[in-house]
Amino acid sequence: MRIVGGVDDELRTWLIGGDPSIAWQVERDLLDLPGSTWSATQRRIASEGWGERFLAERSPNGTWANGLYGPKWKSTTYTLLQLWRRGLARDHPEAVASTGLLLDKPVWQFGVGRDEGVAGFGLALSSWFTIDDDRRDDLVTSILENQLDDGGWNCRTPRTGSTHSSFHTTINVVEGLREYAISGGRHAEDTETAEQRAMEFFAAHRLYRSHRSDRIPDERMMRMPFPPRWHHDVLRGLDWFRSAHAPQDERLEDPVGVVMGHRRKNGRWPLHANYSGKDWFRMESGRSPSRWNTLRALRVLRWWDGTTY
Instruction: Check residues 174 and 160 and name the one with the higher pLDDT.
Output: 174
Residues with Cβ within 8 Å of 212's Cβ and at least 6 positions away in sequence, in order, are none
pLDDT averaged over the chain? 94
Q: Are 127 and 136 in contact (CB under 8 A)?
A: yes
User: Where residue 1 falls among pLDDT bands split at 50, 70, 90?
Assistant: very low
Answer whether residue 94 shows pLDDT above 90.
yes
| C-alpha dihedral, 202 to 207 to 208 to 214, nearest 10° | -70
DSSP of 56-89 = HTB-TTS-BTTBSS-STTTSHHHHHHHHHHHT--
Q: Are 48 and 39 in contact (CB under 8 A)?
A: no
Query: Phi and psi at residue 109, in whole multiples of 5°?
Result: -90, 140
Query: Phi and psi at residue 60, in whole multiples of 5°?
Result: -60, -25
85: β partners: none
Answer whether residue 300 shows pLDDT above 90.
yes
4: β partners: 7
Question: Using one digit for the tens of pLDDT, what is the confidence trace for 49-78?
Answer: 999 999 999 999 999 999 999 999 999 999
State the DSSP code for 250: G
157: β partners: 114
What pLDDT score was predicted for residue 307? Answer: 67
State the DSSP code for 248: P
Reported pTM: 0.96
Residues with Cβ within 8 Å of 32's Cβ and at least 6 positions away in sequence, in order, are 5
What pLDDT score was predicted for residue 201? Answer: 98
Distance CA(18)–CA(293), nearest Å, equals 13
| pLDDT > 70 fraction of the chain, expressed in percent and rounded | 95
DSSP of 98-155 = HHHHHHHS-TTEETTEEEHHHHHHHHHHHHHTT--SHHHHHHHHHHHHT--TTS---S
206-225 in b/e form (b: 16+ CB < 10 A) is bbbbeeeeeeeeeeebbbbb
3-state helix, strand, coil in the chain (%, to 5): 50, 5, 45
What pLDDT score was predicted for residue 3? Answer: 45
SS3 of residue 3 by DSSP:
strand
Distance CA(197)–CA(149), nearest Å, equals 9
